[in-house]
Structure 1
Amino acid sequence: MGFNLTRRTVLFVYAVLIIVPMVVVLAGTFKTTQQLFSSPFGLPDKLDGANYRQVLGQGGLGGAFRNSAIVTACSVPITLFVGSLASYGIARIRGWVGHLIYGFIVLGMAVPAQANMIPQYVLFDVLGLTNSLIGLVLINVVVTLPIAVFIMTGFLKTIPGEIYEATSIDGSGPWRTYRSVILPLSTPSLAATAIFLFVIHWNDLLYPLLFIQEPGKKTLPVALLSFQGEFLTDYPLLFTGVVVASAPIVVAYVFLQRYFVAGITAGSVKG
């Protein structure tokens, strides 16, 4: 009885800590700066979309939203494709060779991004890929590939070896096995990995801030910095920009949460 009461109390406090800031931010998108500071926890007087129109229009967030959508829409599928191929190969290679390849790729997760920034920038500058959305796509794929391989390899190793043997007996080659058998079976793992990649690519600030100088090619996280000045911050516009930037992530998770939970738990138990 006492344990259940304590657990409910902790969960209630946690829910309040999550819900109250969300309500303040959402309500703040319909307020002026004066209304926000005079009544930060109060409801807006009216649901006026002036802040949204200003952010998407004059604030330049519309173009930044488009740039983020282009970079994310290209980065996620490419990373999933390359990562699933690598994971499929690692899962098929038995013994120390497979472990060595897997460890070499996943080692990239242990290297801080800041440690590679200077050589990466020099290399991309020589190749003419700085200040380019294509350059952002390539760097996103390179940086997040170890994460994709780490998640998907854990799932693919749970697939029984008899399935691979059966496809070989039926005359299927590695590519057909990958396309017709592995990909359908890996749907939960792919969806879970896609959500992780989507959040990372969509919220990435470091590389767009480093690689992009042209205002018209800035992504959402970089564009949000323009609402925060050295001496004054327009919090209603900043809250509005945060809501606009967070909306795609929320929508993606709502539609893919079933696969997300299945993908996270699938690779935790060996078959």
Structure 2
Amino acid sequence: MVVLTSMKTLEQTFDNPLGIPTDGLIVENFINIFQEQTMAGYFVNSSVVTLFSVSFTLIFAAMIAFGITRLNDWKGNVLFALFTIGMMIPPQVNMVPLYSLILNLGLTNSLLGLVLVNISSTIPVAVFILTGFMKTLPKELLEASTIDGAGNWRIFTKVVVPLSLPSLSATAIFLLVMHWNDLLYPLLFITDNAYKTLPLALLDFQGQYSTNYPMLFTGVLIASVPMVIMYIFLQRYFVAGMTSGTVKG
């Protein structure tokens, strides 16, 4: 339905919402959405925000998860519990204080502000996933590395990260989908058209009294294509990451 509607006119959509266009499939919607709606700029904004958000969230979460597993006592449990509590707080609860903070920092209407908010909001779930995997790594292997004279940083970079690649890949895919499709934070912090992301830009096709469904569905289709392509090529890493650590050898 999304594909067919994106290739109809508004009149055809209302005349036969579920049918095939009677005048043949049209591509003008795809041309117009890039020429008139500057969709290419929104696409770049979403790509920049998603790339940096996912990258830094993975880096910080992996180091935190490694630190929690290395503590291996009540301190590690308390630290893990704090991040778990962070998953329980709905983003909507933090909107007012978060907006006040970003406003005071002068980061509204900026991609940097979105990246920082995304990192802080998704680190808890990333830490939760990666900690669960790293706890399944053989302790003997880490102890052997310590005996050989490796410090924590070398153990992390040379031993833990290579072994955690399946889990890191699965977490990256999970975070990528979250950040790419995020509407709440761009809607909260972005008002300048130059910094809009794709989900926020799609709201322009919805008015108070009418909605341009062909253009809206065209935008939805364009925004979905990167996710579909990514999952097709990375699904084996996603499945491996989700199942790794569930059975010990």
How does the TM-score come out when normalised to structure 1?
Answer: 0.88
**126, 150, 159: which is aligned to 1:172?**
150
Report the secondary structure of 1:213's partner residue: coil
Asked if 1:86 corresponds to 2:64, the answer is: yes
User: What are the residue-to-residue correspondences of 1:1-271 with 2, within 5 Å?
Assistant: 24-44=1-21, 45-269=23-247
After superposition, give the CA deviation of every residue in 1:105-136 in whole Å (9 maximum; x if it has no partner): 12111111111111111111111111110000
Unaligned regions of 5+ residues in structure 1, if any?
1-23
CA contact (8 A) 1:60 1:223 kept: no
Measured in 2, the distance between the counterparts of 1:233 and 1:267 equals 47
Q: Which amino acid aligns with 2:14?
A: F
Q: TM-score, normalised by structure 2?
A: 0.95
The whole-number CA distance in structure 2 between the counterparts of 1:188 and 1:56 is: 36
Pairwise CA RMSD: 1.3
Distance 1:151 1:138, change over 3 A: same
How many Å separate the matches in 2 of 1:213 and 1:183?
A: 39
Contact 1:71 / 1:136 at 8 angstroms: preserved in 2?
A: yes
Query: How big is the shift at 1:167?
Result: 1.1
Cα deviation, residue 270, structure 1:
5.4
Structure 2: any 5+ residue segments left out of the alignment?
none
